[in-house]
Amino acid sequence: MDPGGATHVATARSGSTAGQVGVQIHQTRRLPDFLQSVNLKYVKLGYHYLISNLLTLCFIPLIIVTLIEASQMDLYDIQQLWLHLQYNLVSVIICSAVLVFGLTVYIMTRPRPVYLVDYACYRPPDHLKAPYHRFMEHSRLTQDFDDSSLEFQRKILERSGLGEETYVPEAMHYIPPRPSMAAAREEAEQVMYGALDNLFANTHVKPKDIGILVVNCSLFNPTPSLSAMIVNKYKLRGNIRSFNLGGMGCSAGVIAADLAKDLLQIHRNTYAVVVSTENITQNWYFGNKKSMLIPNCLFRVGCSAVLLSNKSADWRRAKYKLVHVVRTHRGADDKAFRCVYQEQDDKGKTGVSLSKDLMAIAGGALKTNITTLGPIVLPISEQLLFFSSLVVKKLFNANVKPYIPDFKLAFDHFCIHAGGRAVIDELEKNLQLLPIHVEASRMTLHRFGNTSSSSIWYELAYMEAKGRIRKGNRVWQIAFGSGFKCNSAVWEALRNVKPSRNGPWEDCIDKYPVKLVS
């Protein structure tokens, strides 16, 4: 969980005088300045291509010289080479044996590729929609909130980036609300089974073929577990490796995928299903502590089910291949550990409290994460610039700002966890992204709200529905969660990806992107 719109304060509108000055400055901008900025852009682009292809450029002269020498060899030179090999037959056999042995060991021990065959995101029925006016009216009629809390929730909703069509569970539509264990189970069954039914229908995989099951839900952990509920519903086989992850926040979807990836390295020729969701029914806060009211305004119903495979035959039909997973955990720091904290208020009402330091802590976790991720995904040109800036800062001028790598050179698409408007704004600014790069995150937040760990899959589904995923494209999924954690997953498209049937955007993609109120 994260603060989203809570830390996003509205900025005052500029006065007419300032606007006129801005227009004058824009109108008087000199052409040479514009040309200089364009030239710098192309200089950097040329530098990137030069460094990225430097090894190839160095090999070209060597290849040319080799071809020239080979073309000048006569029959006598070839006979001498053959005699030399005959007299050194033992060396040739030993070298060949070592080469074959090494190649065999590499093939047997190399990591198995993990394919994402397909995934499904749950789309709730229309009667669960919670537009602003209904949300506020229900909050007022429950009589649990004082006037100050109602006004606070209204402001959060206005600045949150959520639209009028997000969903809350059935129990929250009653007056007064009816949270219970039975209602929470019903919500969990509805979202998980809805996503899994769609996944099995689209992939034609039989439930009995599933060898690994990983379920993550942070705040609802009944007995029997959610994973056991799925095993019971679909009659999965008795030797299935099932895992249930709890209390790991909005970044648990990446953690679950990483666990499934590791298991697929051990258990060969099988499928793994990862189910990511959050349960709202029993975790709605009915108190008046401001920091604990924010999740009510941001979190909404959602679930994703992902089918992973290590079968070599599945690369033909798979959508993506998992390339990297990088996980960062800041739990050793007390402030980071307590910034998203489930507790009781002074009236004994349970909720999740969000610290005012959360955005700063998330920024630190992001910095650590991309410091690890950068060297394995960025082109050498960006790594050289980053390293050079660090050397200059260390040796010559401590005031020099470190170079911010251009992650747009490493990734084609970005799935930033739709935790809230402030989260998306902060990453757009810090990573120097363009509006198109955060469009999927903003539209997912607008249409579905913060669906916790499944939000990154709704975002990927948005880009597929828009027809933007092409063969070879790399997708960066990045999510934050309690603990405090920042986790990244990198996927490579194996083909031009089309949206799956019954996708979450199927009935509304033509309406997006929508213009958001600032």
CA distances from 311 to 108, 142, 423 (A): 15, 53, 37
- Mark whether 44 and 56 lie in a shared domain: yes
Q: Which of 339, 415, 417, 473 is catalytic?
A: 417
Location of structure tokens 């469009």: 439
What mean pLDDT is predicted for residues 485-508?
Answer: 96
What mean pLDDT is predicted for residues 260-287?
Answer: 95
- Using the 8-state DSSP alphabet, how is residue 180 labeled? -
- Mark whether 232 and 303 lie in a shared domain: yes
- Mark whether 93 and 175 lie in a shared domain: no
In this model, does residue 20 exceed pLDDT 50?
no
- Mark whether 235 and 247 lie in a shared domain: yes
Per-residue pLDDT band for 25 (boundaries 50, 70, 90) equals: very low
What mean pLDDT is predicted for residues 27-38?
Answer: 42
CA distances from 304 to 66, 191, 216, 277 (A): 55, 8, 10, 7
Q: How many CB atoms lie within 10 A of CB 160?
A: 25
Per-residue pLDDT band for 81 (boundaries 50, 70, 90) equals: low
- Mark whether 296 and 389 lie in a shared domain: yes
Q: How many domains does the chain have?
A: 3
- Mark whether 369 and 439 lie in a shared domain: yes
Please tell me whether residue 328 adopts helix, strand or coil conformation.
strand
180's CB contacts (< 8 A; 6+ apart) are 171, 281, 282
What mean pLDDT is predicted for residues 133-159?
Answer: 93
Q: Which domain holds residue 66?
A: 33-72
Torsion of CA 451, 456, 460, 462, to 10 degrees: 30
Answer yes or no: is 441 within a domain: yes
- Mark whether 493 and 430 lie in a shared domain: yes
pLDDT in tens, 176-185: 999 999 999 9
- Mark whether 82 and 190 lie in a shared domain: no
- For residue 260, the one-letter residue type is A
Answer yes or no: is 27 within a domain: no
What pLDDT is recorded for position 474?
97
Distance CA 398, CA 126 (A): 57
Please tell me whether residue 250 adopts helix, strand or coil conformation.
helix
Per-residue pLDDT band for 31 (boundaries 50, 70, 90) equals: very low
- Mark whether 284 and 415 lie in a shared domain: yes
Q: Which of 329, 415, 473, 486 is catalytic?
A: 329
Burial 201-219 (b: 16+ CB within 10 A, else e): ebbebebeebbbbbbbbbb
- For residue 277, the one-letter residue type is T
Beta strands 241-245; 115-121: pairing state: unpaired
Backbone angles phi, psi at 386, to 5 degrees: -65, -45
Q: What percent of the chain has pLDDT over 70?
A: 83
Comparing 32 with 148, which gets the higher pLDDT? 148
Q: Which of 121, 217, 250, 297 is catalytic?
A: 250
Considering 20, 42, 72, which residue would you say is the last residue of a domain?
72
Q: Which of 369, 450, 473, 487 is catalytic?
A: 450
417 is catalytic: yes
What mean pLDDT is predicted for residues 125-153?
Answer: 93
267 is catalytic: no
250 is catalytic: yes
Per-residue pLDDT band for 23 (boundaries 50, 70, 90) equals: very low
Distance CA 327, CA 347 (A): 37
What pLDDT is recorded for position 401?
72
Q: What is the mean pLDDT of the chain?
A: 86
Q: What percent of the chain has pLDDT over 90?
A: 69
What mean pLDDT is predicted for residues 338-358?
Answer: 94
Distance CA 320, CA 307 (A): 11
Among 86-100, 204-218, 366-380, 426-440, the range scoring the smallest mean pLDDT is 86-100
Answer yes or no: is 23 within a domain: no
What pLDDT is recorded for position 51?
59
Q: pTM score, two decimals?
A: 0.83
Please measure the distance between the N-terminal and C-terminal CA atoms of the chain and give it in whole angstroms: 23
268's CB contacts (< 8 A; 6+ apart) are 112, 310
Backbone angles phi, psi at 222, to 5 degrees: -80, 175
Answer yes or no: is 20 within a domain: no
In this model, does residue 8 exceed pLDDT 60?
no
- Using the 8-state DSSP alphabet, how is residue 258 labeled? H
Distance CA 471, CA 462 (A): 17
Distance CA 47, CA 43 (A): 6
CA distances from 224 to 195, 304, 341, 511 (A): 20, 21, 25, 41
What mean pLDDT is predicted for residues 53-58?
Answer: 63
Within 316-454, residue ranges assigned H as helices are 334-338, 358-377, 380-395, 421-430, 435-448
- Mark whether 262 and 159 lie in a shared domain: yes
Element (H, E) at 91: helix 89-109
Which tokens is 502 given?
């019954």
What mean pLDDT is predicted for residues 285-301?
Answer: 95
CA distances from 126 to 158, 167, 242, 274 (A): 22, 8, 32, 26
127 is catalytic: no
What pLDDT is recorded for position 58?
72
- Mark whether 45 and 159 lie in a shared domain: no
Among 372-376, 378-382, 386-390, 478-482, the range scoring the smallest mean pLDDT is 386-390
In this model, does residue 70 exceed pLDDT 70?
no
Distant-in-sequence contacts of 60-69, Cβ < 8 A, 24+ apart: none
What mean pLDDT is predicted for residues 250-261?
Answer: 97
What pLDDT is recorded for position 44?
55
Whether the ω angle into residue 513 lies within 30 degrees of 0, i.e. cis, is yes
Angle, helices 181-203/226-234, rounded to nearest 10 degrees: 50
- Mark whether 60 and 170 lie in a shared domain: no
**Is residue 256 within 8 Å of residue 214, measured between CB atoms?**
yes
48 is catalytic: no
Distance CA 426, CA 364 (A): 12
Sign of the C-alpha dihedral computed for residues 51, 55, 58 and 59 taken in this order: negative
Per-residue pLDDT band for 108 (boundaries 50, 70, 90) equals: low
Q: Which of 413, 415, 437, 487 is catalytic?
A: 413
What pLDDT is recorded for position 39?
47
Q: Which of 216, 446, 473, 486 is catalytic?
A: 446
Please tell me whether residue 485 adopts helix, strand or coil conformation.
strand
Answer yes or no: is 463 within a domain: yes
Per-residue pLDDT band for 38 (boundaries 50, 70, 90) equals: very low
Answer yes or no: is 13 within a domain: no
Considering 58, 90, 110, which residue would you say is the last residue of a domain?
110
What pLDDT is recorded for position 47?
54
In this model, does residue 123 exceed pLDDT 80?
yes
Answer yes or no: is 236 within a domain: yes
Comparing 78 with 416, which gets the higher pLDDT? 416
Distance CA 141, CA 177 (A): 10
Which tokens is 15 given?
């006065």
What pLDDT is recorded for position 161?
93
Answer yes or no: is 207 within a domain: yes
Of 216, 163, 121, 136, the C-alpha closest to 5 is 163
What pLDDT is recorded for position 46?
60
CATH number at residue 469: 3.40.47.10
